[in-house]
């Protein structure tokens, strides 16, 4: 499973990239607002830093506007994935942009039917939102499982990009189900390395090592 980091914070991206832990980046208007920077400037910096896909989102509501904004965003770098919402206009824009050879990430997916339409429109990625469904007492992982089953049934090449991930357990569950990609905030990705028994083990080893009076360097 590929890891994308869901942020426009270039310092956080650089940190994870240096650890070789990420394969791409997802951004959205809310993350751009949080970064407090010009969208083209910060997106270009991210694209220069990361080799994999960098999702940049359109904000138009009509297909023509999304297509035009997609063309403008694509000028930033070759590894831009144009992000469009899962609406009928978004699907129309997706079909047009993918036919032109661009990567397209169809976002704000909350049902298997929507994911099926996105695959039919040729989406490169489909972004089902796990956490936001959990907020409604609906198990977001059931959606990932349904999409995986449908895509496998018919051989769709659209990659399942599990989004709105809140916890390390979400990452594990998405991997078990078979999501192609998971995008998560930097803190969630880093938290996957944490375990209380690892900390206890290190502490015990260091205490025993100190008793030997030895040094490695």
The residues that are catalytic are: 83
126 with 98: CB under 8 angstroms?
no
Cα–Cα distances in angstroms (integers) from residue 61 to residues 58, 85, 163, in the given order: 9, 9, 21
User: Which of these, 83, 70, 73, lies nearest to 47 by C-alpha position?
Assistant: 73
Q: What angle do CA 110, 158, 5 make, to 5 degrees?
A: 70
Q: Compute and round to an integer the Cα radius of gyration of the chain.
A: 20
217: exposed, middle or buried (Cβ count in 10 Å: 0-12, 13-18, 19+): exposed
C-alpha atoms less than 13 angstroms from C-alpha of 63 in its C-beta half-sphere: 11
147 with 154: CB under 8 angstroms?
no
């Amino acid at each position: 499973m590929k890891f994308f980091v869901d942020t426009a914070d270039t310092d956080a991206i650089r940190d994870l990239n240096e650890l070789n832990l990420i394969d791409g980046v997802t951004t959205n208007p809310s993350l751009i607002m949080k970064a407090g920077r010009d969208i083209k400037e910060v997106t270009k910096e991210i694209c220069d830093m990361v080799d994999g896909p960098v999702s940049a989102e359109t904000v138009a509501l009509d297909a023509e506007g999304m297509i035009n904004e997609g063309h403008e965003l694509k000028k930033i770098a070759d590894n831009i994935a144009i992000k469009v919402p899962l609406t009928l206009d978004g699907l129309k824009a997706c079909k047009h942009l993918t036919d032109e050879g661009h990567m397209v990430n169809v976002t704000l997916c909350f049902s298997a039917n929507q994911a099926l339409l996105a695959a039919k429109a040729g989406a490169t990625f489909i972004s089902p939102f796990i956490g936001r469904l959990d907020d409604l007492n609906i198990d977001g992982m059931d959606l990932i499982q349904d999409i995986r089953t449908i895509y496998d049934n018919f051989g769709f090449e659209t990659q399942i990009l599990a989004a709105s991930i809140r916890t390390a357990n979400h990452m594990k569950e998405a991997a078990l189900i078979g999501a192609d990609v998971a995008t998560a905030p930097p803190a969630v990705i880093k938290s996957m390395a944490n375990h209380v028994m690892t900390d206890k083990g290190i502490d015990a080893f260091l205490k025993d090592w100190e008793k030997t009076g030895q040094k490695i360097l």
